Structure 1
Amino acid sequence: MPKILTVVALLLALTGQVASAAVEHRVRKGETLAEIADLYRVSVKEIKNANNITNANRISIGQKLTIPGVSVATGAKHTVRSGETLDEIAKRYGVTIQELKTANQITNANRIRIGQTLVIPGLAAKPAAPNVTVSSTGEHTVQASETLTEIASAYQVSVQALKSANDLDDANLISVGQKLRIPDGKPQYIDYTIRRGDSLSDIARDYGVALKTITSLNSISNPSRIKIGQVIKIPSHAGITTSRGAPQLSTSDLSALRKTRPNKDKWRHIVIHHSASKSGSAKAFDRFHREERNMVNGLAYHFVIGNGNGMGDGELAIGDRWKRQIQGGHLASYTLNQISIGICLVGDFSKTKPTAKQMATLEALVRYLMANTQVPVARVTTHTLIHPKHTLCPGKYFPTAAFKKKLGG
């Protein structure tokens, strides 16, 4: 009998029919079943059924969960995104940094790059739906017989993330030819704090979502009844776009920016200026603003981007006002200065265009600020568009419309 079993086992192994060991997940402090399901690209219902769980809210720290449809194998793959560290990736997948380093032949944990594909040891991702052709454009056109679940599986995002990114109320109501935005990943929502003068309709317009989406998401029955300080959720794709192939901040710039934690409740606008001079630098402007303008806080802007004359072409200088998260001095309005991030590009754009490197740094910086301050595309503007007094800044050669279009506005 043992010999027969051995032969059967061997035959099954050769035909690929031996079941792989199921993945087991140990619940950590703060985790929810929804987060665990999203991590392994399975549904909450599948995990509940596999573990005889009746109440999704009742899981305990240390509890072992069997993850259905996922097996221990050669390893799932993870594409490194902007801002991620090896430590964060390891924690997300429940492996150690050393295991990640060994599996990917990494000698220095600090040297991973955006777009790099990492193998996650011991975790195999669910295969993409076979009848869905994956697009690399960030947009998917629905084909006949495709379901939202299959599309989500193919792109390795959750169904909820797809619904949120496309303002879908019902996952079953998609049509052939419909174009779906493919979100980059978690989180699905951002928190927005209601400020004086806000209305839900204005917020919905600025963030590019339907008013109904916001009221439904936040269980608001009367859109007119919101309070200052109230925190509401907005789909994370709204007004804050990402773009494959978009300019990226340098590692040093990104590292410097991360030293400051933005005050998300403070900033409402991002305002672009030019220096109206052929050359200049953050240090020179700081000295001028202190000595000639008598500004106690110095440099009026939060950021300065060089053009090769006085600063490197495309070089980013982070001002003290940003580091301290205090008001700017770049607008002739006390109120607007309190809530507006000022970015100055060195150059006179009434006579010449910004350099390509300046525009690349500007785009990367604005995308970073939008993602980290929750300022939507609609509130990225220029001095001449927001200034209460007439001004031509940043000049007729600054490509305002084209720049906003790149950002998704």
Structure 2
Amino acid sequence: MTLLDHLSEGPASAPPLLLGPSLGTSYALWDAVAPELSAGHRVIRWDLPGHGGSAADLVAPGATVGDLAGLVLELADALGVERFAYAGVSLGGAVGLHLAVHSPERVSSLAVVCSSAHFNGAKPWRERAAQVRAEGLARLADGADERWFTPGFTVPRLVRDHREADPAAYAACCDALAAFDLRGRLGDITAPTLLIAGREDPATPPAHLREIADAVPGATLTEIPGASHLAPAERPEAVLTALRAHLGGDARRGMAVRREVLGDAHVDRAQAGQSPFTARFQDFISRYAWGEIWTDPTLSRRERSMITLTALVAHGHYDELAMHVRAARRNGLTPDEIGAVLLQTAVYCGVPAANSAFAAAQRVLAEEDGTAG
């Protein structure tokens, strides 16, 4: 079976995130965004048929968005990905909408970027398909900057991808856009949904994204100033910020894990002591340490507690050590196991460090359950 060409980034054990491209581009569209997202996700970027490295014969005249969505599911199945977050631009966004409606059990969250539930009717896409079949893509690619970016901005790699795409496959993708209209099914979408609009986008103006946001229960809409149709390439920082806030809610998820491990009393004290000066640092802790590292399923919380205790002893952070002895108890470590970890530190971090660590841990254990280890 021939699969869509794709690029995987990030830990194999991290939550999967599929990224879909716009018509005429390759997965290079996500070059400025995907590496950052891969810190907390298994990012899988894919190419449309006849675009980038994907075979042109994966699609035929009269293709539908459903056909493209089927190819994405075949790719996910081949990679062992059962359920995934999804973000897509333009045609890639339409694929995401189709998946969310027709395969809701596969889509954990959805982000639709510079796209639409319809693309201004069938006529312009049929005309474009006929033009490309008759004369190729050179003339159309000459106008790519005007359709894709604000004046004065370009990404030569993407324009080259447009020029080098297979005309027959490109035309078949135009057929898919011509036949696409999901407005009557938007209310069926149950996945948490984010819409991202480029405020300067002439192809799918913000009104198209607003239409989806109004119809999908609980959806949110972000408009990005200074962005045209390929917002991930033109305004990657803004797109990245919106996606990070949406995908899995790292800060919210991190805060929940932080409370589970450290306890409500500690987190409440930290939050109460937060000031404008420390707010970004508190967000960093919740989003990165607790929302990405502590939620990575590669290691259990018990294992993470043991590693954390050792690191804190090695650096002499005994106040933090006391806090994480309490956390280790919540994560299932017994006093004997905590003692064994600290004994290990005596060998590799030094006896004086372990001596201070045992004293701090003994105080905590005595407070917690009367056990001095």
Which of the pair has the greater relative contact order for Cα pairs under 8 Å at 6+ separation? 2
Q: TM-score, normalised by structure 2?
A: 0.23
Higher helix share: 2
Q: TM-score, normalised by structure 1?
A: 0.21
